[in-house]
Copies of this chain bind each other. A is one copy, B any other.
């Protein structure tokens, strides 16, 4: 009953829960550089496009059908669809769709996909609060409030992730969901204007709900993780706002969240430069709808295309990559789109033929096209561990004997070589145009870039529904 076999318990952790709560409740609005604020908008744009793009995926259909059994009130938008549901359910579903294509953002230090839990929670809550405020004559939630909450929430989840990574991830946790609940709770507490005490309670309630196991990768429950984290975080903040209590040491105590789910906890990752360095600065966005180790190879083949190499003229593609690339994505003859996501060969073919590898280039019909099949077979991959995991060395040997060589040190989308804003827009439209139409997609993108100045978040939400 009073047994204690936990040998590594640290009873002297700093008061992390309180420190983070003070930060979230009291940090000034837009209390960061223009660069950070712009990155927050890039994060928001990228997240929104992903959520709209997967709106009609079967995972979204199934989740929405389950939620409809609760006869939800029409408080907030299901992005990319016409349905409206209660705030908490909207957070769930938008969180699911934003991660369904595995095309969302990545905080590379922890492999956290930070926007899913946080942005899904704050947009749904902001919509719901704006509506209820309007009904009682109070002002709407502004875009500024939303961006502030997004930056602070992502800082909380990524800092907690930094503290626990890699042990926590290696143990089996899908770190996006397990830390995302805290990020969503922090962001929603900020949006609700909770004081530091109630913010600590919200973080504490969220701390009892880490979500997600890596075994789920490959099933709908993977994208469920950020969705469920968004929902749980939102509800934790609502509960705290009504006086629900939790341990004020819920994160750091020996039997609190972090020590229970990770043997490594570097508390300084949470406290160091808090309020000065913002983890959202280190967010990255995928240009290609597949695992990140394939990206340098796709980028290289896409550059061959830009240099005038035509797939029909290619006799052979010589690809040199780190062994990890073939270990994870060495599927030479993928049978469908899902398998193609684990095929560096298909990635090379898509890069050369289309100059891109979005969700469209992973359609079964594209993957099974005879020319794509033939081209994949022309890729000769060799392991060279002197090449970094983040790089690729590609040579096209043409039918006329010419050789065209491209070396990619850092693929597009990496921190060293980030996607431009225009590229993010292109990615957005690649997902959104077929859902909302080109014109509305353009309007939605414009609204998203202008979020920090928006008087009412609901205008954007309306544009995200067909």
Contacts and interface: CB of A to CB of B under 8 A. Distances in A.
Given A70-B75, A86-B71, A208-B213, A221 B247 contact: yes
A161 interface: no
A211 interface: yes
Contacts of A65: 242-243
B66 A75 contact: no
A66 B242 contact: yes
B213 A225 contact: no
A214 B111 contact: no
A2 interface: yes
Contacts of A313: none
Contacts of A254: 172, 215
A228 to B, nearest CB: 7
Interface in A1-52: 1-6
A63 B239 contact: yes
Interface string A285-328: 00000000100000000000000000000000000000010011
B166 A215 contact: no
A394 to B, nearest CB: 21
A87 B261 CA distance: 30
Sorting the interface of chain A by its residue count into under 10, 10 to 19, 20 to 34 or 35 or more gives: 35 or more
Contact of A224 (B6, B205, B215): B205
Contact of A72 (B73, B166, B246): B73
A218 interface: yes
Nearest to A291: B1
Contacts of A243: 58, 61-62, 65
A172 B260 contact: yes
Interface in A185-230: 204-205, 207-216, 218-221, 224-225, 228
A246 B6 CA distance: 31
B242 A62 contact: yes
Interface string A148-160: 0000000000000
A167 B220 contact: no
A242 B209 CA distance: 24
A171 interface: yes
A141 interface: no
Contact of A209 (B86, B172, B209): B209
B3 A66 contact: no
A204 to B, nearest CB: 6
